[in-house]
Amino acid sequence: MAAMILSRHKLSREAASMPDAGGHSALPRHVAIIMDGNGRWAKARRLPRIAGHRAGAEAVRRTLRAASKLGIDCITLYAFSSENWKRPEQEIADLTGLMKQFIRAELDEIHRGNIRLRIIGDHRAFEPEAAAMVDAAVEKTAGNTGATLVVALNYGSQDELTRVMRSLAERVRSGDLDPQAITPDIIAAELDTADLPPLDLLIRTSGEQRLSNFLLWQAAYAELYFTETLWPDFDEAALAAAVASYAERDRRFGGL
């Protein structure tokens, strides 16, 4: 079944990037994923939650390879939200350990693939070793010119927008910015995602249908795709199905 889905939906990068009648590409340039369902996956198997997170890390590896095959330019993963600090200390420690393990295991392959790593949110809130490893990974891949992998760490969209409003307010107070000159483009230029392509497709796994404080501004005209698949089960066929659904959408951006 997976092979059938892939053979039906998998497009070459050249064909998929051709615009449709409305001038929009059939292939999303920027895809974001809310990776949900690790805990439920583990619970269904009577395993500890950490087993679900480990399986989720494997799903990240599969998804990055699948995105590369499809020719997606930028993929953003919601790895740790600013609200996740409410979880038990042991789970936070487990997630931090997995993050460090992922960097050790995958960074060289990411770098060889000419992929640039970007972080949104405040990753320096993590323990010093983890934060330093993230900094080193970003620095190592900074000059890469291929696809971009964006990882949201200690990220919350409301916090991001609050920081932007404070920054603009300071500029207004200092006389550097006229309030009447504030436009959506001015705001977008202050966001954590300012140097990234506009968000085209936002995927959430596990059947939940909410954004959970993720890329609220950026998702204004993104296509939303919800799947019952739990994140540890997400694979190449699942990503191809989401991209195929996107290709069938009529993106009007408020027009006719």
Say whether 84 is catalytic.
yes
Closest by CA position to 146, among listed 112, 119, 120: 112
Which residue out of 36, 73, 192, 200 is catalytically annotated? 36
Residue 227 has pLDDT above 90, yes or no: yes
Question: For 143-162, what is the mean pLDDT?
Answer: 97
Share of the chain above pLDDT 90, in %: 87
pLDDT digits (tens, 9 = 90+) for 156-204: 999 999 999 999 999 999 999 999 999 999 999 999 999 999 999 999 9
Residue numbers belonging to the annotated binding site for substrate: 37-41, 49, 53, 81-83, 85, 87, 204, 210-212
Domain ranges within the chain, ordered by starting residue: 27-155+199-214+230-248, 157-196
d(CA 87, CA 215): 21
3-class SS string, 172-189: HHCCCCCHHHCCHHHHHC
Residue numbers belonging to the annotated binding site: 36-41, 49, 53, 81-83, 85, 87, 204, 210-212, 223
3-class DSSP assignment, residue 41: helix
pTM of the model: 0.89
Which residue out of 20, 73, 84, 200 is catalytically annotated? 84
Say whether 235 is catalytic.
no
Residue numbers belonging to the annotated binding site for Mg(2+): 36, 223
Only one residue has tokens 């790593």, namely: 117
CA-derived radius of gyration, the chain: 19
| Neighbouring C-beta atoms of residue 189, cutoff 10 Å | 11
Instruction: Tell whether domain 27-155+199-214+230-248 is in CATH 3.30.70.3420.
Output: no
For 151, the enclosing helix (H) or strand (E) is strand 148-155
d(CA 68, CA 8): 18
